[in-house]
Amino acid sequence: MKKLNKLVILFCLALTVFSCSSDDENNTEELQNTNVITLNNETYVVNTVIVEPSIGDNTYVSLINKNETEFLDAINNGTQVDNVNVFNMRINQSPLGEQTYSFSDIPNFEFSINGQMINGELEEGDILLDRNNADTSLNASTGSFTLDYYAIDQIEFSFQFTRNDGTVINGNYKGDFVYYD
């Protein structure tokens, strides 16, 4: 009987150890794949999301690699910020709703890296995706934006675009955001 009790305890202990390590690995992988934009094998971190409603039932969504304070200081006070990565989308709806927006609902989008904020204006860097670029390989042929959760202080969404050259750009974000009205 003592042998059976020891085996049961050993089995439960082993089950607990393996269960915890598996969850930790999944949580780490999930965190690494959240609040990022990916293109090929490159990952671009997103630290700030700005949601800005506009006239004409449009909403602009911007994903930026700089923190909120740094970016807003650059806009409002003219502070220069280097190495700015920005993904901008204009969605034909205001206010946004928790739904999937198709490619036709997103008439304008652009993803550029290594830009600069100078005197409150974004100077584009290297353009990786653009709806209306003369280099048609940078244009997208398909895309969508899915808003999973949208509340006063939290937002959760994902998106995916496929450029004309077949390159897929996708991303997701889950966290707080700036409502810029």
* pLDDT per residue rounded down to tens, the chain (181 residues): 444 344 334 333 333 334 444 444 544 444 457 899 999 999 999 999 999 999 889 999 999 999 999 988 888 898 899 999 999 999 999 999 999 999 999 999 999 999 999 988 888 899 999 998 889 999 999 999 999 999 998 999 999 999 999 999 999 999 999 998 8
Q: How many CB atoms lie within 10 A of CB 86?
A: 23
Give the alpha-carbon dihedral of 38, 39, 44, 48, to 10 degrees. -70
Q: Kindly report the pTM of this predicted structure.
A: 0.81
Show the CA angle centred on residue 36, arms to residues 123 and 99, nearest 5°.
100
End-to-end CA distance of the chain: 71
Written as six digits, the tokens of 3 are: 């042998």
Judged by DSSP in three states, 163 sits in strand
Written as six digits, the tokens of 150 are: 């949208």
Contact indicator for 64, 75 with CB cutoff of 8 Å: no
Cα 93 to Cα 67: distance, rounded to the nearest angstrom: 26
Contact indicator for 163, 142 with CB cutoff of 8 Å: no
Cα 149 to Cα 49: distance, rounded to the nearest angstrom: 14
pLDDT for 93: 95
Judged by DSSP in three states, 128 sits in strand
